[in-house]
């Protein structure tokens, strides 16, 4: 029998690029609600769902979602320089939690339930940390560092597939989290997701693209 994981959803009110993005109406529903409802759908893999936020608007959603704990995040963990790791450690300390954790970000509304479940299985096999990635449409032979007035110099002359973090799913056990400060570690196991499931909303055009693709996928 698989051990259950704690699902954490981080939803800070501030946003440097797209104002109030976590509560923008995405297909007629606040963006963060899509991730909350996704976590509820897969509650058979979790022992708890916690939303950490400094937004009073998001804290009001606790009346709607009885199966979810809402935690008011302290101001010192709600600045532009605060990290997801800081917020996760705050939750673990507050609830004295030890075990597997899955972090879901509200900015990935196209993420599939199946991908979260697969990462949960990997956690139970001892993989930690894990984060989701997406394959770049371009190989390393067509990607370069930008150097003004310099000639094109590819990262690698050979055609190699390039993958990048898509921000959709992060996971680890608390033993690993307690002694580290980022998921982007040489220890990390990467889990590949499809490109059409990997839009990470950070700017207005990401939001428009994700909403259009969501409507197509859910016709």
Q: Tell me: pLDDT of 16 over 80.
A: no
Confidence of residue 93 (pLDDT cuts 50, 70, 90): very high
Average pLDDT, the chain: 94
Q: Write down the domain spans for the chain.
A: 5-217
Superfamily of domain 5-217: Spore Coat Polysaccharide Biosynthesis Protein SpsA; Chain A (3.90.550.10)
Please write the tens of the pLDDT for every residue from 152-171: 888 888 899 999 999 999 99
Name the pTM for this structure: 0.94
Task: Please state, for a pLDDT cut of 90, what percent of the chain lies above it.
Answer: 84
The beta-carbon contacts of 18-23 under 8 Å, at least 24 apart in sequence, are 18/201, 18/202, 18/203, 18/204, 18/206, 18/207, 21/107, 21/201, 21/202, 21/207, 22/53, 22/55, 22/58, 22/106, 22/107, 23/55, 23/57, 23/58
Q: What is the structure's pLDDT at 15?
A: 76
> What is the arithmetic mean of pLDDT over 40-59?
96
């Amino acid at each position: 029998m698989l051990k259950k994981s704690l699902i954490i959803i981080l939803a800070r009110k501030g946003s440097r690029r797209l104002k109030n993005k976590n509560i923008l109406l995405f297909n007629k529903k606040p963006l963060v609600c899509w991730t909350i409802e996704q976590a509820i759908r897969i509650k058979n893999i979790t022992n708890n769902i916690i939303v950490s936020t400094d937004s009073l608007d998001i804290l009001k959603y606790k009346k709607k979602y009885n199966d979810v704990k809402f935690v008011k995040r302290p101001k010192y963990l709600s600045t532009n320089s605060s990290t997801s790791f800081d917020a996760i450690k705050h939750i673990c300390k507050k609830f004295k939690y030890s075990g597997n954790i899955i972090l879901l970000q509200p900015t990935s509304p196209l993420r599939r339930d199946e991908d979260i479940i697969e990462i949960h299985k990997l956690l139970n096999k001892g993989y930690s940390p894990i984060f989701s990635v997406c394959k770049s449409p371009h190989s390393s032979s067509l990607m370069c560092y930008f150097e003004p007035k310099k000639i094109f110099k590819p990262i690698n002359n050979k055609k190699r597939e390039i993958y990048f973090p898509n921000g959709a799913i992060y996971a680890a056990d608390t033993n690993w989290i307690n002694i580290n400060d980022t998921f982007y570690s040489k220890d990390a196991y990467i889990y590949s997701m499809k490109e059409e499931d990997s839009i990470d909303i950070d700017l207005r055009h990401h939001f428009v693209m994700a909403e259009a693709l969501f409507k197509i996928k859910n016709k």
